[in-house]
Amino acid sequence: MQEAALQERFWPYVFLALSSGGTAAILSVLDRPYWLIFLAVFFIVVIFALIRVALHDPVDEPASELVVQPPPGALPAGFGRALLDQMPLALVVISPVGRITYGNKAAKLQFPHAKKGDHFATLLRTPAFVDAVNDVIANGGNRKVAFSAGQETKHYYEARIGVLPAGSEFGASEQILVDIEDRTLEHRSDKMRSDFIANASHELRTPLASILGYIETLQGHARDDLKAREKFLKIMHKQASRMQRLVDDLMSLSRIELNAHVRPSTPCNIFDLVREAVAGLKPLEAENHVVLDCRLPENGPVIPGDRDQLNQVFINLLVNAMKYGDKGETVEIEQAPETPERAGMVGITVRDHGPGIAPKHIERLTERFYRVNAAQSRNKGGTGLGLAIVKHILQRHRGQLQIESVEGQGSEFTVWLPVTA
């Protein structure tokens, strides 16, 4: 291939040499003067050059087959460490004697107490983790281990352990590479999901069993007992209504979670919206033996929000205050005073004068199905999801729920919402 390319490259010049040489020889034999011979040869060379330019022969261009690409160079020094530093997982390199020789940025953030040169057990003093690393140091291979650590706050981890070959950036001998993934959030989500299913199943099973029991009674010896039938039907209606409320709340919670990432943007006058919620619940004042007293100013701020969801927030809080407040008392709705830590937010407080809530319960009130008094809540028709719905709606609106309570004096639930998007 190269030989053919060379022949194609040089044959025009061979032809030029033969033609100009032959012409000079013929003119010399004919005794023509030297200046004429010179002009003749010069004329041939000029003609040849013009023809070459006109035809643009690639003879003067390098053949692509002859171009040799330089081999790629080695990776720059330190590239491996720079790459590991950008990894989101905590990565640690351990020497054959069990000392930490390297930790990437994620490892330093996750385990700030561990330093280079420390024994690897300072990362996590958990037997399952320590045994797995020691096994790889002694026997090689790869290990994967899941474990938990911590006393007061338990964290869940998954570690993968392998061997780095000798001669790497981390040393002439073999090293141990460990990546540690914090699976606490995933574990808690799984537990929350399983607890949710268990609680929902329990909440539905109880009224369903009650309804089935009364149906069997009505089909049996109480078939012709009109008084018992009336009593049982009322109980069945109450239990069926409770199941319906539970299903409605579950569906509502699912819809809220589905759109949790989409922040509402529709302008809402928040004080007008609260007054509408209060007006809608006025017929229940006599039934619950309380008075709703709305003390909000006439001109309220306009905030970005979802009117239906915010209406649901205040109805849930007002209904709770009416149910669990003392009879004959007033439920007060007023604007909360501004605070430096919540600058740019508007607060609306719903205050009751009931028995109050013990401090140990306050942090858990917004958990699904959590009740301070389960029997009392069920008797009053509660599903245990009301405050969980409030929390999720406020999270979607980038708002907060503040709960303050003094036992024997009542409770205050304050909704804080950002005034601007």
Does one domain contain both 271 and 414? Answer: yes
User: Which of these, 351, 391, 353, lies nearest to 370 by C-alpha position?
Assistant: 391
Does one domain contain both 33 and 89? Answer: no
Does one domain contain both 313 and 348? Answer: yes
Domain contains 30? yes
Contact indicator for 92, 110 with CB cutoff of 8 Å? no
Does one domain contain both 102 and 206? Answer: no
Terminal C-alpha separation, the chain: 72
Domain contains 328? yes
Does one domain contain both 178 and 210? Answer: no
Provide the CATH number for the domain around residue 247: 1.10.287.130
Domain contains 74? no
Provide the CATH number for the domain around residue 368: 3.30.565.10
Question: Which residues make beta-bridge pairs with 162?
Answer: 177
Domain contains 229? yes
Given 258, 282, 316, which residue is the final one in a domain? 258
Does one domain contain both 104 and 239? Answer: no
State the total domains in the chain. Answer: 4
Provide the pLDDT for residue 227: 85
Give the 3-state secondary structure of the chain: CHHHHHHHHHHHHHHHHHHHHHHHHHHHHCCCCHHHHHHHHHHHHHHHHHHHHHHCCHHHCCCHHHCCCCCCCCCCCCHHHHHHHCCCCEEEEECCCCEEEEECHHHHHHCCCCCCCCEHHHCCCCHHHHHHHHHHHHHCCCEEEEEEECCCCCEEEEEEEEEECCCECCECCCEEEEEEEECHHHHHHHHHHHHHHHHHHHHHHHHHHHHHHHHHHHHCCCCCCHHHHHHHHHHHHHHHHHHHHHHHHHHHHHHHHHCCCCCCCCEEEHHHHHHHHHHHHHHHHHHHCCEEEECCCCCCCEEECCHHHHHHHHHHHHHHHHHHCCCCCEEEEEECCCCHHHCCEEEEEEEECCCCCCHHHHCCCCCCCCCCCHHHHHHCCCCCCHHHHHHHHHHHCCCEEEEEEECCCEEEEEEEEECCC
The domain containing residue 176 runs over which residues? Answer: 79-182
At 408, phi and psi to the nearest 5?
85, -5
Does one domain contain both 317 and 206? Answer: no
Domain contains 206? yes
User: Which of these, 135, 99, 127, 126, lies nearest to 114 by C-alpha position?
Assistant: 99
Side-chain half-sphere CA neighbours of 196 within 13 A: 15
> Given strand 100-103, what is the order of strands in its sheet?
100-103, 90-94, 175-182, 155-164, 143-149
Contact indicator for 178, 103 with CB cutoff of 8 Å? no
Does one domain contain both 120 and 172? Answer: yes
Domain contains 337? yes
Give the 3-state secondary structure of 277-301: HHHHHHHHHHHHCCEEEECCCCCCC
Provide the pLDDT for residue 349: 96
Does one domain contain both 283 and 372? Answer: yes
Contact indicator for 372, 387 with CB cutoff of 8 Å? no
Domain contains 72? no
Cα gap 238→219, rounded to integer Å: 19
Domain contains 106? yes
Does one domain contain both 134 and 206? Answer: no
Given 134, 167, 182, which residue is the final one in a domain? 182
Contact indicator for 242, 400 with CB cutoff of 8 Å? no
Phi-psi region of 24 (alpha: psi -120 to 50; beta: other; left: phi over 0): alpha
Contact indicator for 285, 327 with CB cutoff of 8 Å? no
Does one domain contain both 84 and 194? Answer: no
Which pTM does this prediction carry?
0.53
Provide the CATH number for the domain around residue 144: 3.30.450.20
- The pLDDT tens digits along the chain (421 residues) read 444 544 555 566 666 666 666 666 676 666 666 666 666 666 666 666 666 655 544 434 443 333 334 344 444 556 667 777 888 889 999 999 999 998 999 989 888 888 889 999 989 989 999 999 999 999 989 999 999 887 667 889 999 999 988 877 777 788 999 999 988 888 877 777 777 777 677 777 877 888 888 888 888 887 888 888 888 888 888 888 888 888 887 777 777 777 777 788 899 999 999 999 999 998 888 888 899 999 999 888 999 999 999 999 999 999 989 988 878 889 999 999 988 888 889 999 999 988 888 888 888 888 887 877 765 666 665 677 888 889 999 999 999 999 999 888 899 999 999 987 5
Does one domain contain both 290 and 246? Answer: no
- CA separation (Å) from 306 to 273, 315, 343, 354, 380? 11, 14, 22, 30, 28
Given 156, 182, 208, which residue is the final one in a domain? 182
